[in-house]
Amino acid sequence: MSVSTQDNRSEVSGEERRVKGLNLVRRQFWALFIKRFHNARRSKKGVCAQVVLPVAFVCISMLFAFIVPPLTQPQPLALVPWNYEPNNVFYSNDAPANSFSVEMEDNLINYPGIGSRCMDGDPVPDKPCHRETSSMWKKSNQSKDTSQECNCESGYQMCPSGAEGPEPPHRVTETTDTLYNLTSRNISDYLVKTMEEFILKRFGGFSFLEIADFSNLTRNVSNEIIANISETDFKTLFPEADPDLIPSVDTVKEIYDVLEELTERYNAKVWWNNNGWHALPTYINVMSNMLYRAKLNTSQRSSHGITVYNHPLNYTQLQLNEKALLRSSIEVLVATFVVFAMAFIPSSFIVFLIGERTSKAKHLQLVSGINPTIYWVANFCWDLINYAVPACLVICVFLIFQQDSYVGPKNFPCLVLLLMLYGWAITPLMYPATFVFSVPSTAYVALACTNVVIGIVTMSATFILEFLSDDEVSSIRKYCTKFTHTRTITINNK
């Protein structure tokens, strides 16, 4: 009687210790999670396939996207001498006795100097004034003319050393230019003989207030014309002409007086090197600043000046199409790398599952009481968590490169949702392959290649369909774009 009672008590005790219901499901689920965790912790190849390779491919793709300039309209360009550096400028004061010429020279060699760089407030973008770099005038010790002739016997000008004569006085200005004083020298001869020394280093210069040779000729010819008009009887010569249309001698003289007032007796000449595309308008503007400031008081010169900007024409539709096509090609390249990156992750999940099936570990778990539904749900949840780690790292790569087309306020949520839902969609599609393959490595390579091919084919198809304008093709393109993961990335970039 006592033995029977003891057996009953042991059966009741064993019944109470038996795990059932939700508690059993929770324990089995947790046990499968622990098993997958330890397997992932020990698998270095799995870490490489699931984390290192995807992040590396996305980094490479973003490097391509980073080096491509954005598609923007050309920006205005300030036409200043400092677009060409180092910059050497020369000048010649051809009328030193003229007070206005002296003012122009003073404005050029002293503050604010050449152009508008050293005006109040530093108006030239990215070109601040450097008053600390200016230097005193440097003069040669040679007093006599030592210039020599050059020869062209070899088919190219050959000049002996020092053929240009003594080095002219020069100094470094506040605008970082090296300014040469060629007053009383033959400018053309000096420029030709120093061409090789200053190639791509000298783009312009000035000579001002030399007497205009053509002004006296114009005056003499005009006087002769007026004398001939005075001696001509237009009424006799044109008897049928309307008298109101025949100019009188007084009218002709008045016109001449006006033209004489407008005649410039002196020249301000700009020299420029056509190897600099913007040299001509640049140095004309510098001369305009010299003429303008020469009429101002010294205290006003630093606050008055002219800066010229070149505003390019906007791109034509053809140019925009060409640039858009180039950028689309880069976007396709980026999407291709993303395909490679994301193809390795879900393909690596089945390596463990095939290993369990071929080693009969899965069979052992099922006969030991593991529910098949719990087995697959637990593995699916682990794979989603495992997928989230490289996906987050990939998102961090996009954030590091700060491309607005991916991480902009409107695009970033779409990018995150796209990457996360891709893992949710592609992982269950890998599981049927566990019943087909027996070698985990073969399955990994085959499924990775399949994911890559499917991604590239669908992306290429939608990319090609974009260049077809047929209405039926357009509807197909819209339908395909909605269900193409990698192509959605390129469209999101646009």
Distance between CA atoms of residues 75 and 179, nearest Å: 30
Q: Are 57 and 337 in contact (CB under 8 A)?
A: yes
What confidence score (pLDDT) does residue 273 get?
92
What confidence score (pLDDT) does residue 1 get?
45
Tell me if residue 306 falls in helix, strand or coil. coil
Distance between CA atoms of residues 38 and 337, nearest Å: 31
**Which two structure tokens, joined as six digits, stand for 173?**
């200005």
Q: CB-based contacts of 243: which residues, under 8 Å, 6+ apart?
A: 235
How many beta carbons lie within 10 A of that of residue 169, not counting itself? Answer: 14
Q: Are 115 and 299 in contact (CB under 8 A)?
A: no
Distance between CA atoms of residues 490 and 455, nearest Å: 13
List the single range of 174-183, 187-196, 363-372 with lowest mean pLDDT: 363-372
Instruction: Say yes or no to pLDDT of 265 above 80.
Output: no
SS (H, E, C) 252-281: HHHHHHHHHHHCCCEEEEEEECCCCCCHHH
- Closest among 53, 116, 9 to 444, alpha carbons compared: 53
Instruction: Say yes or no to pLDDT of 2 above 50.
Output: no
Distance between CA atoms of residues 137 and 86, nearest Å: 18
Q: Are 455 and 339 in contact (CB under 8 A)?
A: yes
**Which two structure tokens, joined as six digits, stand for 143?**
């007093």
Q: CB-based contacts of 166: which residues, under 8 Å, 6+ apart?
A: 140, 142, 143, 144, 145, 146
Distance between CA atoms of residues 411 and 395, nearest Å: 12
Instruction: Say yes or no to pLDDT of 3 above 70.
Output: no
What confidence score (pLDDT) does residue 410 get?
80
Alpha helices in 119-166 (DSSP H): none
* Beta pairing class for 178-181 and 170-172: antiparallel
Residue 43 pLDDT grade (very low, low, confident, very high; cuts 50, 70, 90): confident
How many beta carbons lie within 10 A of that of residue 336, not counting itself? Answer: 20
Helix, strand, coil shares, percent, the chain, to 5: 60, 5, 30
Residue 81 pLDDT grade (very low, low, confident, very high; cuts 50, 70, 90): very high
DSSP at 52? I
Mean of the per-residue pLDDT values of the chain: 79
Place of tokens 């005075």: 230
Q: Which residues pair with 267 in a beta bridge?
A: 210
Q: Where is mean pLDDT largest: 64-73, 238-247, 354-363?
A: 354-363
Distance between CA atoms of residues 383 and 348, nearest Å: 10
Quote the strand ranges of 158-237, DSSP E: 170-172, 178-181, 202-211
The overall pTM is greater than 0.75: no
φ/ψ of residue 309, rounded to 5: -120, 140
* Beta pairing class for 178-181 and 266-272: unpaired
Angle (CA) 345-347-348 rounded to 5° is: 70
Q: Kindly state the helix (H) or strand (E) to which residue 208 belongs, with its residue range.
A: strand 202-211
Instruction: Say yes or no to pLDDT of 20 above 60.
Output: yes
Distance between CA atoms of residues 481 and 464, nearest Å: 12
Distance between CA atoms of residues 340 and 459, nearest Å: 13
How many helices (H) and strands (E) are present in the chain, helices listed first?
Answer: 18, 7
Angle (CA) 41-45-46 rounded to 5° is: 55
List the single range of 57-71, 176-190, 252-266, 468-482 with lowest mean pLDDT: 468-482
Q: Are 327 and 68 in contact (CB under 8 A)?
A: yes
What confidence score (pLDDT) does residue 491 get?
46
What confidence score (pLDDT) does residue 12 get?
46
pLDDT digits 0-9 by tens, 90-104? 999 998 888 899 999
Distance between CA atoms of residues 383 and 387, nearest Å: 6
Instruction: Say yes or no to pLDDT of 120 above 90.
Output: no
Q: CB-based contacts of 18: which residues, under 8 Å, 6+ apart?
A: none
Distances (CA, A) of 351 to 247, 365, 371, 455: 105, 18, 21, 21
